Amino acid sequence: MWGEPLSPLSFWLLRLSGLRPRALVTPSRRERERGRDAAMCGILAVLGCADTSLARRSRIIELSRRLRHRGPDWSGLHCHQDCYLAHQRLAIVDPTSGDQPLYNEDQSIVVTVNGEIYNHEELRAKLNSHKFRTGSDCEVIAHLYEEYGEDFLDMLDGMFSFVLLDTRDKSFIAARDPIGITPLYMGWGLDGSVWFASEMKALSDDCERFVSFLPGHIYSSKKGGLRRWYNPQWYSERIPSTPYDPLVLREAFEKAVIKRLMTDVPFGVLLSGGLDSSLVAAVASRHLGQTKVARQWGSQLHTFSVGLKGSPDLKAAREVADYLGTYHHEFHFTVQEGIDALEEVIYHIETYDVTTVRASTPMFLMSRKIRSLGVKMVLSGEGSDEIFGGYLYFHKAPSKEEFHLETCRKIKALHLYDCLRANKATCAWGLEARVPFLDKNFINVAMDIDPEWKMIRPDLGRIEKWVLRNAFDDNQNPYLPKHILYRQKEQFSDGVGYSWIDGLKHHANEHVSDAMLKNASFVYPENTPTTKEAYYYRTIFEKFFPKNAARSTVPGGPSVACSTAKAVEWDAAWSKNLDPSGRAAVGVHTAAYKEVPEKVSASEHSSSVIGFSPKQDGAIEAATTATAV
């Protein structure tokens, strides 16, 4: 049943991360082949190059290296006439094989993929006449295309971005998952070439124009242009009327978490102590013992949290970890360490959106620590607030119709905000983040509920995300303590410590003068920054990505507490306090802004130590005197 013993290096990483397997052995080769993951990687494809010289090949390899942080384990490049498909691999299982690009039987179909296909075993069973060359979950894409042509994307259950080349006629397709969990950009060269890349930095210098590839869409060279392949009922923004069934919602979410435990490497859960991440941890912890991964790594879940010392998230996360009995790792950072990392963060996340930068920085710092422990995959709680109207401004939704329309708008924009942050902030260090709330089936179930049930009704005792809280409010077999289950929404950038945001604002005030902000519309006529903090992030972004096309990939418009521009209209007072922090929801958040937030000097938090405090005795006690960049 079991194969060869762990190598000394694997054993050392195992001990380093505090993992305690039931058996210190690896799965058999058959098990490895059956469960091998493609994982989060970096892809670059250039199709129709006028120049096919060795210099062009070298240039594409050089550009592909800009994505190596996403896949530090191996590189691959396939060339067919004037077409190039490059890949940077993050090896979740069996690093000696399963490299990309991937092929069909006669190698006439070539595909480079970033992502995970959770139902790959089911799809392989349907393709029993095909011969698979590897155990990669993503190899099914090549065979599905061979079998069904371009009409197979709805069959995929997972997160993915891919480019597929059919060498028989030199046609190609590119596609992205329904919500945009994995990033993808599309560009055009002056020579008529078409480019695709996981991150903008791999194509921005060589493309005359480039855009963010739309989620749930496919580009076909045969049919020309983009078309949407993902067409669920909620996408049309029709108001649903299905009655709320808490058990159906609970079961759908548990299935979403369980399928994401498909891994053969050490993994954990990013735990803020809020409702969403706590539910992910609770469900994963409850079902981990019945999974294949538990046989290799043990049934005790690892959880990770980050924050300024004394922050709300750290306290709540430790309480949840104690309740669930997880092996908890707590990381600390200072305001100054976060500020020191800003340039690198903006380079990796490729946006100047204020909320995204605020939240990405602690996630970026935490991901580096997690990856240093030998962990390659984490589960995270993104998407719940968009689906259930969890942001505090939803308290002011004037009707169930407006409530539902706003959730639809928020989900459609996730690829520009939280999905972008969760993917790029973790992949900056070769760490993969999986997001069960954005499971395709779970979204369908949750978005089919009559929005009257999602409305925030204090008179009925319903706070934000009540339908989700109630679904897991099990008195017989509790998932979480009541006060955690019903904790008020805290945005990640707030929860890591309020002085983090206040410190960022103070730092920006020191670097952006009143005159600079006054003339912002002349310097940045497109998506003009309206605060000094936004102006500061914009200057950093423009240094790395100076082209007009780059700044156009970033969304803009007024926002309060992460609302869309449309929802700002719900309360006239909000237009006077346009800040994406949850504390801008005046009259809702328990720590809402009163007037002007107190300024906090970064020097007050300038300790250069990032602390690491595992919950249990015997684990590593480490700190570094270097800044976290």
Q: Which of 41, 408, 427, 562 is catalytic?
A: 41
The vertex-439 CA angle with 430 and 313, nearest 5°, equals 60
β-strand 267-270 against 302-307: which pairing, if any? Answer: parallel
The DSSP string of 258-322 is: HHTT--SS-EEEE--SSHHHHHHHHHHHHHGGGSHHHHHH-SPPEEEEEESTT-HHHHHHHHHHH
How far apart (Å, rounded) are the C-alpha atoms in residues 466 and 403?
Answer: 14
Alpha helices (H) in 498-551, listed in sequence order: 498-511, 514-518, 520-523, 532-544, 548-551
Tell me, what amino acid is at 508? Answer: A
Strand locations in 390-548 (E): 432-434
Residue 246 CB neighbour total at 10 angstroms? 16
102 DSSP β-pair partners: 111
219 DSSP β-pair partners: 174, 226
What are the structure tokens assigned to 480, written together? 């979480």
Strand locations in 317-418 (E): 327-332, 377-379
β-strand 302-307 against 327-332: which pairing, if any? Answer: parallel
How far apart (Å, rounded) are the C-alpha atoms in residues 310 and 357?
Answer: 22
Residue closest to 180 by CA, chosen among 390, 348, 418: 418
Residue closest to 163 by CA, chosen among 215, 209, 220: 220
Active site residue 41: yes
CB 144 within 8 A of CB 127: yes
Query: How is residue 566 annotated by DSSP?
Result: G
Query: How is residue 230 annotated by DSSP?
Result: -
The vertex-372 CA angle with 294 and 490, nearest 5°, equals 80
Residue owning tokens 């521009």: 565
Contacts of 131 (CB under 8 A, 6+ apart): 105
Q: What is the set of active-site residues?
A: 41
